[in-house]
Structure 1
Amino acid sequence: MAATASGVFRRTAMERADQRVSWERTDQAFFASGACHVLAWVCRDFYPDQEIGLAAMYLGDFEHPLHVYARWNTWAFDANGWNPESELMQANSDFEGLPVREVETITTNLREFCEQHVHRQPHQYWADPTDRARTYVTRYTPPWLAGC
Structure 2
Amino acid sequence: MYQPRTPGYCKKDPVKRWNLPDRVFFACGACHILAHAFLARFDANGDRGFYSLRFKPAAGFTGNHIVIAGHDWIFDYHGFSPRDAYLRHTWHRARQRWPGWQADLITLPRNVLISEEKSREIDGLWLRGPDQFLHNALPRANRFLTRFGPPSA
TM-score (norm 1): 0.80
Structure 2: gaps of 5 or more residues: none
| Greater than 4 Å deviation, 4+ residue runs | 10-13, 62-65
TM-score (structure 2 length as normaliser): 0.78
1:39 is matched with: 34
Pair 1:129 & 2:132 matched: no
Higher helix share: 1
Identity %: 22
Corresponding residue to 1:104 among 103, 106, 118: 106
| Residue ranges of structure 1 left out of the alignment (5+ in a row) | 1-5
Partner of 1:23: 18
Note the aligned Cα RMSD (angstroms).
2.5
Whether the 8 Å contact between 2:52 and 2:110 is mirrored in structure 1 is no
Structure ranking higher on relative contact order (CA contacts 8 Å, 6+ apart) = 1
Residues paired across the two proteins, number: 140
Where do 1:1-148 residues align within 5 Å? Answer: 6-9=1-4, 14-47=9-42, 48=44, 50-61=48-59, 66-97=64-95, 98-107=100-109, 109-110=111-112, 111=115, 112-113=118-119, 116=122, 117-144=125-152
Paired with 2:16 and 2:103, the residues of 1 have a C-alpha distance of 32
When residues 102 and 133 of structure 1 are mapped into structure 2, their CA distance, relative to the original with a 3 A threshold, is same
CA distance in 2, matches of 1:87, 1:41: 23
